[in-house]
Structure 1
Amino acid sequence: MNLEETIKQLPDCAGIYQYFDKEGHLLYVGKAKSLAKRVKSYFIFTPSLKPNTNLSSRIKKMISQAVSMNYIVVNSEHDALILENSLIKQLNPKYNILLRDDKTYPYIYIDNAKEYPRFEITRKIIQSSNVTYYGPFSVGARDILDSIYDICRLVQKKGSLKSKKLCLYYQIGKCLGPCELNVPYEEYKKELDLATELIKNKKTLLAKLEEKMHFYAQNLRFEEAGEIRDRYQRISRSEIKSEIDFASDENYDIFVLKNAENRAVIVRIFMRGGKIISSSHDYIQLNEGYDEDELYQRALMDFYSNGKPPIIAPILIATEFENKNIIEEYLTTLFEKKALIKVPKKGDKKKLIDLALINAQELLRKEGKQNSDAILSEVKELFSLEKIPKRVEIFDNSHMSGVATVGAMAVYDKGGFDKKSYRTYHLQAKDEYSQMRETLTKRVESFSKNSPPDLWIIDGGGTLLKLAFEILESNGVFLDVIAISKEKIDAKAHRAKGKAKDIIHTKEDVFRLKDSDKRLQWMQKLRDEAHRSAINFHKKTKLKLDKESKLLSLKGISQAKIVKLINHFGTFEALKNLSVEEIGSVLNIKDANIIKSIYK
């Protein structure tokens, strides 16, 4: 069935639709209250099928490339919204705008039902009606908490009260000692009140940290002074500076967007109790144009996608956007109370929006300067990539004679390595091809939680490049992939410098660039980082395996039997969770009982 026939047969009900180009690559995922009405609005049907002249240039370009479409019927527009968001994150369609910030921000909380309560960190709701939350904190939550316990004489550790004995913290004056002493609650509450004030008022907290820093420096305790200095700086970075201070205890989540030619920025500001407590921002690469409506929907869906937040606040945005009512309905269901999305026109709330927009503009200016280097654009042009590779995932595997086989993924993002996003994998496969298949498959399976990047780089040659494309295509994902390998000398690939030249493989071409080529050096830097990550994880895994093997050997389990177990079950961690019968199916019941006694 061709595109026009499919469109004419669309049902008048809620669902999602997908457009594909002539090569079968997914171009766009959209949602609709009525599939028939929504999709037909993209086209003019006479005298022949063509894009509607009322479309934006971005969507018109997409429609001109579409040759086929699929659709999925769902029960409601609400369900369509959720499915659309999930598919965009997993499949990374060319014309959808993809946000990569799906992390949750931490809150500091205190359970007031405890006899001597203490502050802790959470990213989700604690099931207790006596809990008070402070946050969210985009940066510095742990530093704030550490500072509280440095300054206030609170119970320092969760298990301290159980010991019923005074500990070192009491002796150095950092705890009142309620574990053993009869500390009046009024006295303990004074420390709680001070801690609460420091969490809510960062100026006061930073002033106290500055005092401690100078005290340590004056007493020649420079290492401790340095730690306080670093903590001070991290806490300082966690919010946009502002003199706006509401007279009331109002809470707001503020979201604004700003765009330049090829990139946009989203700024989030969190106001709690009438004060700005933290802020965050993310850059978005605009590969096929800017759509503020879609970007607002993505920003709100992604930020609240991890469940009901501990503190629910009205949402302020800079401009109205399409489907705002649908997003409100979705958030109302998620929050279990009425969600409010407002566009303030005057007063202090409008000042908050203006403040966020000023910061968004400044962030775009600074980011433009930082990315003045044209290397990424040159890489895109040379290798005929679909997108400028702002975010890249690089893969390598490592093992020693088939032992401690691991895979590693390093991540490059906007000019530097994003080490928090690195991933490592224990692998079962024995040959290089199967190992890379296992590593890449594990990554693809996590796309729904951690969206695809702009580019994959594989440490390997054309065979592994083809494998990567097969894995992606079988999962409905279109993604640029490049492989980098050493040329073979005497039928062997050499890593050592000077022994062999690096070869770059793309879907269409093979490149042998000069050693001085900046594009080659950029790829080598990324490949080497993934290799370093894989080697380090392999060493840690091998060390752990050696220790476990020695433990089993001491109990009379031979090396041959240990190898047989690991080949069958994969890891020692898996072995620990097995029953005697399961282990006995590979060895014998006597050995199985010995092993089980070790791992009780």
Structure 2
Amino acid sequence: MNSTYLLERLSNLPTSSGVYQYYDAKNKLLYIGKAKNLKNRIKSYFKITDQTIIPNPAISQRIQIMVSQIALIQTILLSNEQEALILENSLIKQLKPKYNILLRDDKTYPYIYIDMSEDFPTPAITRKIIKKKSIKYFGPYPNGAREILESLYELLPLVQKKSCLQGKKACLFYQIHRCPAPCEGKITQAQYHTTIQEAFKLIQNKNKLIALLNSKMHALSEMMRFEEAATYRDRINKLTAIKNFSVIDSTKLYDFDIFALSFEGKNAILIRLFMRGGKIISSSFEHIKSEYDFDENSIYKQAIINYYKEEIPLPPDQILLPSLDTEHISELETYLYKNCHKKIQISIPLKGDKKDLIGLAIKNANEILRLQSNRSYAEDVLLAALKDLLELNSIPFRIEVFDTSHHSGTNNVGGMVVYENMHFIKDAYRHYALSGSDEYSQMREMLTRRAQDFSIAPPPHLWVIDGGKAQVKLAQEILESQGAEVEVIGIAKEKIDAKAHRAKGSAKDILYTPKTSIALKPTDKRLQFLQKLRDEVHRYAITYHRQKKQKEMQKVSLLEQKGIGKASVKKLLDYFGSFEAIQNASSEELTQILGKRAAQIKAHLSTSG
């Protein structure tokens, strides 16, 4: 620490609300926080005695380590605590400081809803508020909403599609006893509403729903229809996972969201239980990893900001937490009221049935943590070894991997895959249609687009680039322009006779860091792990390239069928690079390439989209 700078800076801090940022001597972002009074909050990190300054011994070990590295303090002044709360959370997501713990699960969960004002209502799924008083909601369902909905339509004679109600004749669904055919007046509204009430019961009673699905599965098996039976088996497995808490039933019709954190070593589990009408109807959890200790206050605060960032269909009356600093409760309740348009109390129960619910959440979080930690131990050791090998600043718990694919300068595409907690996170995969004419410019375009999305999808710990020194340097420049703390390495394929060699277990690929290159033995587990990541992104990019090329070939074939010769099509593709570029070309550009035939081509292109 630079004592002279820090003593002077602390004496000149503002006393208003705002956000503060700590940087180290290399201008790397260490930490982001917010405060009602910036001067009081920032000074609380330090202990000053006789013009000497040290980290405050009363703060956590993680924060003491961070404070010892502070070389620069920056502040952003804001009008009030609410603005500071929101900006702090946004900056943590976008910049991923080294000592902040980042929660990535900020999804809104689906709900099943039924519009009871309709003559023949049908269940559907929504994640948003539907502005009608007649809507009845069920949920939230972090998992299984689609499976519940499909089961309702298969087990009950419901109107299968809203468009059916516009018809005048019963369709196939009526013939197979899946629809009561109100279009032909074969059922009254009163009779149909009896079926809707049965749907309500099945949504609320997962045991009964699963029992009906089991009967259907066994019947299909007896008829040797094994593929259909397997579909029901998979659905039952999904629904069984969300019914585990359904035995918990309160005599009081509580509407609670219950959060609890369990942590040990580098692993933590944040669990959420959703209680509606006195029953726990669903749950979800997030696996969090950190090299340092876990700040419970920060995690609970961030979880509430993330999950209640907008109005939800069935907000709770109370949020139950095991603990939270008193200073955060009031500001978070104000945040909840502003976003959810409802007064939601944050409670830290000390006794009674609410305390028992907290205990239930902690018990389940502990068990999930035990299972997750046992499974991830070997990988944690491997990732720590990678950190040492590559001289990274932090363990790369979340990794994004990039590759491009093209053929003779056409159908240029890129792919990004994501790896975390022993899994490829396929929901986070992204593909990119690229316009660059060479691999370097294509990589620049893809990485820039990804970095510009950090405010929406937070950055990982590490980027792995399929390439060498030039690509690593390029990635660093892009990340620095965004101010994000993400480390970069490259993996360059061994080439034999000028061709990339990908033989698993024997490829002598080279690793590139910003400082050096590293050659490992083909049997090295660290190399094999990175090769696994590189091979997955290569597969993903190639697959997208082939799909794009196939679509292009189909469009080219249509042009040829309309009398546009192969020579003309080749000229256009050679010049513009893709069918989309040809389609977007002006008449003047087409005339430059094809002369008098341009008008005919333009007419055909306008009908080929």
Same fold per TM (> 0.5)? Answer: yes
Q: CA shift at 1:421, angstroms?
A: 1.3
Contact 1:256 1:318 in 2 (8 A): yes
SS, match of residue 38 in structure 1: helix
SS, match of residue 31 in structure 1: strand
Matched, 1:338 2:343: yes
**Alignment correspondent of 1:95:** 99
**Alignment correspondent of 1:439:** 446
Within a 5 Å distance, the mapping from 1:199-238 to structure 2 comes to 199-238=203-242
**Alignment correspondent of 2:388:** 381
Contact 1:257 1:267 in 2 (8 A): yes
Paired with 1:287 and 1:94, the residues of 2 have a C-alpha distance of: 10
Contact 2:413 2:545 in 1 (8 A): yes
Aligned partner of 1:461 among 468, 474, 492:
468
Specify the code of the residue in structure 1 equivalent to 2:66.
M
**Residues 250 and 214 of structure 1: CA distance in aligned 2, closer, same or farther (over 3 Å):** same
Within a 5 Å distance, the mapping from 1:145-544 to structure 2 comes to 145-241=149-245, 243-305=247-309, 307-313=310-316, 314-321=318-325, 322-373=327-378, 374-489=381-496, 493-495=500-502, 501-544=508-551
Contact 1:239 1:279 in 2 (8 A): no
**Alignment correspondent of 1:22:** 25
Specify the code of the residue in structure 1 equivalent to 2:569.
Q
Kindly report the root-mean-square deviation, in angstroms, between the aligned alpha carbons of the 2 structures: 2.2
Paired with 1:4 and 1:595, the residues of 2 have a C-alpha distance of: 73
SS, match of residue 166 in structure 2: helix
**Alignment correspondent of 1:551:** 558
**Residues 584 and 72 of structure 1: CA distance in aligned 2, closer, same or farther (over 3 Å):** farther
**Alignment correspondent of 1:134:** 138
**Alignment correspondent of 1:54:** 58
Deviation string, structure 1 residues 373-432 (Cα, Å, up to 9, x no partner):
132222222222233222211111101111111110111121121111111111111111
Aligned partner of 1:41 among 31, 39, 44:
44
Q: CA shift at 1:50, angstroms?
A: 3.1
Contact 1:26 1:94 in 2 (8 A): yes
Contact 1:110 1:120 in 2 (8 A): yes
Q: CA shift at 1:35, angstroms?
A: 1.7
Contact 2:259 2:319 in 1 (8 A): yes
Q: CA shift at 1:597, angstroms?
A: 3.8
Paired with 2:198 and 2:182, the residues of 1 have a C-alpha distance of: 18
Q: CA shift at 1:458, angstroms?
A: 0.9
Contact 1:240 1:276 in 2 (8 A): no
SS, match of residue 430 in structure 1: coil
TM-score (norm 2): 0.92
Contact 1:407 1:534 in 2 (8 A): yes
Paired with 1:525 and 1:105, the residues of 2 have a C-alpha distance of: 32
Specify the code of the residue in structure 2 equivalent to 1:542.
K
Contact 2:32 2:100 in 1 (8 A): yes
Paired with 2:575 and 2:137, the residues of 1 have a C-alpha distance of: 48
Specify the code of the residue in structure 2 equivalent to 1:563.
L
Deviation string, structure 1 residues 130-169 (Cα, Å, up to 9, x no partner):
1111101111110000000011101011221122221111
Contact 2:505 2:523 in 1 (8 A): no
Contact 2:113 2:126 in 1 (8 A): yes
Q: CA shift at 1:7, angstroms?
A: 3.5
Paired with 2:529 and 2:419, the residues of 1 have a C-alpha distance of: 11
Contact 1:489 1:500 in 2 (8 A): no
Deviation string, structure 1 residues 537-563 (Cα, Å, up to 9, x no partner):
000011111122233444466325643
**Residues 171 and 490 of structure 1: CA distance in aligned 2, closer, same or farther (over 3 Å):** closer
Contact 2:505 2:528 in 1 (8 A): no
**Residues 128 and 599 of structure 1: CA distance in aligned 2, closer, same or farther (over 3 Å):** farther
Contact 1:28 1:95 in 2 (8 A): yes
Deviation string, structure 1 residues 243-290 (Cα, Å, up to 9, x no partner):
321223321111111111212110001111211111011111122222
Deviation string, structure 1 residues 303-349 (Cα, Å, up to 9, x no partner):
222x1111110211112335122111111110112121112222322
SS, match of residue 179 in structure 1: helix
Specify the code of the residue in structure 2 equivalent to 1:340.
Q
**Alignment correspondent of 1:584:** 587
Paired with 2:399 and 2:416, the residues of 1 have a C-alpha distance of: 10
**Alignment correspondent of 2:594:** none
Q: CA shift at 1:438, angstroms?
A: 1.1
Specify the code of the residue in structure 1 equivalent to 2:248.
I
Contact 2:556 2:579 in 1 (8 A): no
Q: CA shift at 1:496, angstroms?
A: 5.4
**Residues 499 and 117 of structure 1: CA distance in aligned 2, closer, same or farther (over 3 Å):** same
**Residues 271 and 278 of structure 1: CA distance in aligned 2, closer, same or farther (over 3 Å):** same
Matched, 1:598 2:603: no
SS, match of residue 159 in structure 1: helix
TM-score (norm 1): 0.94
**Residues 53 and 347 of structure 1: CA distance in aligned 2, closer, same or farther (over 3 Å):** closer
Q: Greater shift after overlay, 244-253 or 118-127?
A: 244-253
Paired with 1:366 and 1:486, the residues of 2 have a C-alpha distance of: 36
Aligned residues: 592
**Alignment correspondent of 1:11:** 14
**Residues 585 and 342 of structure 1: CA distance in aligned 2, closer, same or farther (over 3 Å):** farther
SS, match of residue 464 in structure 2: strand
Q: CA shift at 1:490, angstroms?
A: 5.6
**Alignment correspondent of 1:123:** 127
Deviation string, structure 1 residues 547-589 (Cα, Å, up to 9, x no partner):
222334444663256437845xx763x877x6xxx73353358
**Residues 125 and 564 of structure 1: CA distance in aligned 2, closer, same or farther (over 3 Å):** farther
**Residues 387 and 550 of structure 1: CA distance in aligned 2, closer, same or farther (over 3 Å):** same
Contact 1:584 1:591 in 2 (8 A): no
Specify the code of the residue in structure 2 equivalent to 1:353.
I
**Residues 499 and 115 of structure 1: CA distance in aligned 2, closer, same or farther (over 3 Å):** same
Q: Greater shift after overlay, 547-556 or 337-346?
A: 547-556
**Residues 597 and 454 of structure 1: CA distance in aligned 2, closer, same or farther (over 3 Å):** closer
Specify the code of the residue in structure 2 equivalent to 1:13.
S
Paired with 2:186 and 2:158, the residues of 1 have a C-alpha distance of: 14
**Residues 232 and 185 of structure 1: CA distance in aligned 2, closer, same or farther (over 3 Å):** same
Contact 1:411 1:421 in 2 (8 A): yes
Paired with 2:143 and 2:444, the residues of 1 have a C-alpha distance of: 36
Specify the code of the residue in structure 2 equivalent to 1:531.
H
**Residues 113 and 585 of structure 1: CA distance in aligned 2, closer, same or farther (over 3 Å):** farther
Paired with 2:465 and 2:359, the residues of 1 have a C-alpha distance of: 44
**Residues 77 and 585 of structure 1: CA distance in aligned 2, closer, same or farther (over 3 Å):** farther
